Amino acid sequence: MKILVINCGSSSLKYQLIDMNREYSLAQGLVERIGMEGSILTQKVEGKEKYIIKEVMNNHKQAIKLVLEALIDKTNGVISDMSEITAVGHRVVHGGEKYSKSALIDENVMEAIQHCVKLAPLHNPPNITGINACKELMPNIPMVAVFDTAFHQTMPKIAYIYPLPYELYTKYDIRKYGFHGTSHKYVSAIAAEKMGKDIKDIKIISCHLGNGSSITAIKNGKSIENSMGFTPLEGIAMGTRAGSIDPAIITFLQSELKLSIEEVNDLINKKSGVLGISGVSSDFRDLEAVANENERAKLALDIFYYKVKKFIGSYVAAMGGVDCIIFTAGLGENSPLTREAICQGLEYLGVNFDKQKNKVRGKFAEINTSDSKVKVYVIPTNEELMIARDTEIIVKSLK
């Protein structure tokens, strides 16, 4: 079975075609600048040259049409006909409280995704656009929605209710949802496998550290806490996002600096985090490169490490212990410096870190000493494969 995985952003689209018989990614692609000048599609296939198409793409339908053409292209493609695609799995950021699992897309599911637009105004609209475009181009192919929020629906009320008037939850759905669920679920399952334990018997802290970062406490296989909240802005300081700050700062910016809602939103989402502190970059590679001579770049990194460490400590308290800490995503997989700085001083929790084993990038590794009570793993995430797996399960159940 071949499954097309689509992850639609407002002006970009990532895709992969995965052969589920081998769980092998046949092609990976990225379409950028949809609806803008200079639209471009880049497709990678193992053993072939990069395939680049520069063509006007005014909307997502045109982009997906080109994706299908690239996949069946005689020279650069990987399938001979569209009918080889059995199903499409869509990444959908927000499923609200309704979805704790992936779902076959029908009218009800579309309505629910639409209902969540107010909770994820930047993410759900392009997800809807992508699904509609695929439905038009592939009307008879089943489509599945895989929600970023679904894995966190097991969080208990004490974790997800904010100390605000309760009606804001019942009337306006204001609560913690948590994000990156697909990634946390994927890496935690691998961690349990590597430990040779049933996930139902262990306590895991999963650190998904990239441009956007979140940490999850997974107890007995269930997410009980995630550092992100009502939106992906809460939690640790990120590339450009502030993470958790005193909410009074927001009203101060509005009343004293006379910033508008849009300006405040822009400031805390796009101009803060390690970019805001350092004034240098949101990319951790740039910060690592200049940290020795640039005090603010070093400060930005130190604040980031400190915040992650504090979350780890609080999640150990929330779960009553920890058996395994996972590092994943762009930064977690590729930055030995980050992992070492975060794990330093956690010996009292039973974390004995091995600096030698930590010299690894982008592949699975156990980076604790052999006598460490707590396992520390680097696990490359694979959200696309996870989406494809869920899609396969649902499509097989239709027959």
The residue ranges that bind ligand ADP (CB under 6 A) are: 210-212, 239, 283-285, 288, 329-331, 334-335, 361
Instruction: Identify the residue whose tokens are 């990194």.
Output: 301
Q: Which of 19, 73, 81, 148 is catalytic?
A: 148
Q: How far is the CB of 1 from ligand ADP (least distance, A)?
A: 27
Q: How far is the CB of 187 from ligand ADP (least distance, A)?
A: 12
Check: CB of residue 44 under 8 Å from CB of residue 70. no
**β-pair type (143-147, 85-92):** parallel
Output the six-digit token pair for 270. Answer: 């796009």
Residue 148 known to be catalytic: yes
CA 88/CA 13 separation, integer angstroms:
14
Smaller CB separation from ligand ADP, 2 or 90: 90
Q: Which residue is nearest to ligand ADP (CB)?
A: 330
Kindly report the number of other CB atoms within 10 A of residue 285's CB atom: 11
Check: CB of residue 388 under 8 Å from CB of residue 4. no
Q: How far is the CB of 213 from ligand ADP (least distance, A)?
A: 8
Q: How far is CA 360 from CA 211, 240, 320, in A?
A: 20, 26, 30
CA 113/CA 291 separation, integer angstroms:
43
Check: CB of residue 368 under 8 Å from CB of residue 360. no
Angle at CA of residue 24, ends 21 and 25, nearest 5°: 130
Smaller CB separation from ligand ADP, 280 or 349: 280
Smaller CB separation from ligand ADP, 240 or 391: 240
**β-pair type (2-8, 85-92):** parallel
Nearest C-alpha neighbor of 178 from the set 143, 217, 209, 142: 217
Smaller CB separation from ligand ADP, 30 or 72: 30
Smaller CB separation from ligand ADP, 95 or 330: 330
| CB burial readout 170-190, b (16+ within 10 A) else e | eeeebbbbbbbbbbbbbbbbb
Q: How far is the CB of 274 from ligand ADP (least distance, A)?
A: 8
Check: CB of residue 359 under 8 Å from CB of residue 336. yes
The residues carrying an active-site annotation are 148
